[in-house]
Chains A and B, each alone.
Chain A
Amino acid sequence: MSLKLHEASVSVHGAKLLHAVSFEVTTGKLVGLLGPNGAGKTTAVRALLGLQPLSGGQAFLDGQTAHSLTPKQRALRVSYLPQARKLAWPIAVREAVSLGRFAYGGPMGRLGPADAAAVDDALARCSLNGFECRSVTSLSGGELARVHLARALASQAPALIADEPTAALDPGHSFDVLATLQAQAREGQAVLVVVHDLALAARFCDQIILLNQGKLVIHAPPREALTPAILANVYGVKATWDQDQLILSGRI
C-alpha cells in the first residue's frame, strides 16, 4: 500500500494552496504531516484522497489515480478521519463505530459477523469497552476522540489518514491517540497523521513531512526534519534536541 502525491498543485479561487508537492507514505510507517496554520496540510490530505481537485500533478492510492475512485473504492483502500467531529444525532457509541464498516455493508447497509468482529476489535483498541451503549453526546472530548478513532480503525483498510486527531485533547489523551496510531503502523498499516504538537510528532513518528506556505520543506526522519534551523525558519520558534526529545523554549 502506498499513498502518493506527485507534483500536486491546488488552486482555489486564484489562491495557490499547494505548490507541486510530492511525497509518498508506505506500509508500516507512521508519518506525521506538520506545518504552521494555513500551510496546506488539510489541502494535501484531501488532494491525496481525491477529494480536492488538482490544478496540476497527480494523487495515487495504491497505484490508482485517487480522483478516479468511487467513495466506496476509496474507503476500502484508505480510512480517513477528517477534522469535523460533530455527530448530528445522539446515536450509541457502537453504532457510530460501526459506521466505519459502511463500505462493507450490503445494499440496505446490513453488516455481517466479520464486521461485528472488526468493530469489537476497534472498540478494544481504543479502550471503549463498556461504552458501547452510551450516547455519543454524553461523552467527554477525549472519549469522543476515541470513538472517532475507533470508527477509523474499524474499517481495517490498508492505509489510515487522520487529520488532527489530537485537536483539543489533553497531553495524556494525545499520547494515547499517537500510541494507538503507532501500533497500527507497526502492524503494517500505512498511517499519515496531521499533528500540531512538534514534540509529540518527534516522539512517535517514523517520518515527518513538513509543509510551509503550500510547499514541501522536508520529508525525513524527525531528527533530520525538525532541526533547530528548520523550525526557526518555518515556525519562528527556538527548539533544541535533548537526546531523543524535542524541546521548544520560546519564540524567536
Chain B
Amino acid sequence: MKVQNHAPTLILTLVALSALAIAASCLIGVTPLPMGRLMAALVGLGDPQAELIVWDIRLPRALAAFVVGMALAGCGAALQGLLRNPLAEPGVLGVSAMASLFATFTIYWGFVQLSPWMLPLASIAGALLATGLLALIAPRVQSVVTLVLVGVGISSLAGAFMSLLINLAPNPFTLSDMMNWMMGSVANRSLEDLFLAAPFFVVGAMAIGLAAPGLRALTLGEEAASAVGLDVGRSRIWVVLGTGLLTGAAVSVAGAVGFVGIIAPHLVRPLVGHDPARTLIPAALLGGLILVVADLIARLAPTGQELKLGVVAALIGAPIFIWIAVRRRMLEADQ
C-alpha cells in the first residue's frame, strides 16, 4: 500500500470550493430576486434591498457556517491526533454539549444582557472544563474507548442539565432561545457576532498550530513520542486550550453542531498520507465547506419551518460516525 500526500493541491481545491459555496449561499435563497441584482450587490454595485439581503443576511450566515465548520473540524482533527483515535470530536466527547450548557445558563439567568462577551466567554469556559477533564483522564485510562465513553458521559450530563433548564424555563421566549443552542443554527447571525468571536477563533487556531508537530510525533504513542523529544504534557495543554477556545467560540456563534469534526478529518486523512499534523488545515477547510453546504440544504429544504443546521449535520454525520466505528473495529480484528 502506497502512502501519498496531496496536501497542497487539496488545500487549494478546498479554498476554491469554499469560496464558490459561500458565493452560492449569498445568491441562492427563498427571497426571489433576479440573479443580476444579487450579483451586483455582491460586488457592491447593487440596490439597497439586494445589498441588505446579501451583506446583512446571507453573507454573515454563510461565513458563520464556514467559520464554525472550520473550528469544529480543526478541533476534531487535533483531538484525534492527541488521542490517537478517529472517533474523537468535540461533539462526541461532550465538549460542545458542555459549552452549550454554559451558554444556556447565561441565557436562562439573563446574564447575556450584561455584556455581549458573556455568551462567548461562558461557552469557552464550558468547553475548557470538558476538554480539561478529558485531558486529565486520558493518560490514566489508556484505552481510548474508555475515554470516548467518558465523553459520552459528559455529554449526557450536560444534556440532562439542559433538559432540566428547559423544564424550568420561565417563558416561551427563553425556551426558544435555548432550543436554538441545543440544535445548532446560524440563522440571523450578524457580522458583529462573528467579529466578537473572531479573537477566540484566532488564538484557538494558533494554539492548535503550535501543537501540530507534536501530533505527528504522537503517532508513535506517548512513551515513544516523549523519547524522540516531545513534551507530551505541553502538547496536551495546547490542544486543550485550542479546542476549548475554538469549540467555545463556535458554540457561541452557532450552538452545538455535531459530527462535522469526525467526517471532515476522516475524508481528508488518506489524501495527506494520514499525517495528523498535515490533516489539520485541509480538515478545517472541508469542515467549513460541509457546514456551508449543510446550511444551504437547511435553508432550501421544502419544509414548513426552516431546518436547524445542527439537525442537518447530525442527520448526515451520525450514520457516517457509525460506519467509521464499525469499519475500524473490523480493521482491528483483521490485524
- Pull 18 A–B residue pairs with CB atoms less than 8 Å apart, ordered by A: A51-B226, A70-B231, A71-B226, A75-B229, A80-B227, A87-B220, A88-B218, A88-B220, A89-B219, A89-B274, A89-B276, A95-B275, A99-B219, A102-B229, A108-B213, A109-B213, A134-B1, A134-B3
Contact-residue size bin, chain A (C-beta under 8 Å from the other chain): 35 or more
Q: Which of A95, A101, A151 has the most CB of B within 10 A?
A: A95
B228 and A100 contacting across the interface, CB-CB below 8 Å: yes
Measured CA separation A232–B64 after assembly (Å): 73
Given contacts A88-B84, A89-B274, 17 further A-B contacts (CB under 8 A): A71-B226, A71-B231, A72-B231, A81-B224, A84-B221, A88-B218, A88-B221, A89-B269, A89-B275, A90-B274, A95-B273, A99-B219, A102-B225, A109-B213, A133-B4, A135-B3, A155-B228
Give the complex CA separation of A86 and B232 in angstroms.
17
Give complex CA distance A239, B22 in Å.
76
Mask of B224-261 contacts with A, CB within 8 angstroms, 1/0: 11111111100000000000000000000000000000
Report if A217 contacts B (CB, 8 A): no
> Residues of A contacting B218 with CB < 8 Å?
88
Produce 1/0 per residue, A62-105, CB < 8 A to B.
00000000111011100111101011111110011001111101
Closest CB in chain A relative to B2 CB, distance in Å: 5
Q: Tell me the A185-235 residues at the B interface (CB within 8 Å).
A: none
Contacts of A245 in B (CB 8 A): none
Bound-state Cα–Cα, A61 to B251, Å: 48
Tally A-B pairs: CB < 8 A: 104
Shortest Cβ distance from A3 into chain B, in angstroms? 14
- CB < 8 Å: which of A76, A84, A89, A133 contacts B224? A84
Most chain A CB inside 10 Å of its own CB: which residue of B4, B209, B220: B220
Interface centre among A49, A51, A133, A155, by most B CB within 10 Å?
A133
CA distance in complex: A99, B277 (Å): 12
List A contacts of B37 (CB < 8 A).
none
Interfacial chain B residues near A108, Cβ < 8 Å: 209, 212-213
Interface assignment of A240: CB less than 8 Å from any CB of chain B:
no
**Contact A138-B1, Cβ < 8 Å, known A71-B230, A89-B276, A90-B274:** yes
Q: Which residue of B lies closest to A139 (CB)?
A: B1
Cα-based distance from A100 to B209 in the complex (angstroms) = 21
Q: Which residue of A lies closest to B269 (CB)?
A: A89
Q: Does B192 interact with chain A (Cβ within 8 Å)?
A: no
CA distance A164 to B22 in the complex (A): 55
Give A75 to B4 CA distance when docked, in angstroms: 29
Which residue of chain B is the closest to A76 with respect to CB atoms? B229
A91 touches B229 (CB 8 A): no
Q: Are A90 and B3 in contact (CB under 8 A)?
A: yes
Query: A72 to B229, Cβ gap below 8 A?
Result: yes
Q: Which residues of A contact B224 (CB under 8 A)?
A: 80-82, 84
Q: In the complex, which residues of chain B have a beta carbon less than 8 angstroms from the beta carbon of A99?
A: 216-217, 219-220, 228
Q: Is the CB of A109 within 8 A of B229?
A: no
Q: Kindly supply a per-residue 1/0 record for chain B positions 193-217, scoring 1 wherever the CB is within 8 Å of any chain A CB and 0 otherwise.
A: 0000000000000000100110011
Q: In the complex, are the beta carbons of A91 and B228 less than 8 A apart?
A: no
- Interface contact A87-B219, CB-CB below 8 Å: yes
Shortest Cβ distance from B274 into A: residue = A89
A103 partner, pick from B209, B228, B276, beta carbons under 8 A: B228
Contacts of B232 in A (CB 8 A): 71
Shortest C-beta distance, B42 to chain A (Å), equals 36
Interface string of A142-158 (1 = CB under 8 A from B): 00000000010001000
Cα(A51)–Cα(B226), bound, Å: 9
Given contacts A102-B213, A105-B213, A108-B213, contact A74 B273 (CB under 8 A): no
B330 nearest CB across to chain A (Å): 14
What is the distance, in angstroms, from A223's C-beta to the closest C-beta of chain B?
33
Name which residue of chain A comes closest to B3, CB basis.
A92
Expressed in whole angstroms, the minimum distance between the Cβ of B40 and any Cβ of chain A is 43
Quick one: closest A residue to B2, CB to CB?
Answer: A133
Q: How far is the CA of A92 from the CA of B3 in the complex (A)?
A: 6
Q: Which residues of A contact B229 (CB under 8 A)?
A: 71-72, 74-76, 102-103
Complex Cα distance A34/B229, Å? 27
- Give the chain B neighbours of A76 by CB distance below 8 A: 229
What is the minimal beta-carbon distance from B1 to any residue of chain A, in angstroms?
Answer: 4
Chain A positions within 8 Å of B276 at CB level: 88-89
Within the complex, what minimum Cβ distance (angstroms) separates B235 from chain A? 10
Indicate with 1 or 0, residue by residue over B1-35, a CB within 8 angstroms of chain A CB atoms.
11110000000000000000000000000000000
Check A102–B217 contact: CB distance below 8 A: yes
The smallest C-beta distance from A149 to any residue of chain B, in angstroms, reads 12
In chain B, residues 40-70, which have Cβ atoms closer than 8 Å to a Cβ of chain A? none
Q: Which residues of B contact A90 (CB under 8 A)?
A: 1, 3, 274
- What distance in Å separates the Cβ of B32 from its nearest Cβ neighbour in chain A? 49
* Minimum CB distance partner of A102 in chain B: B228
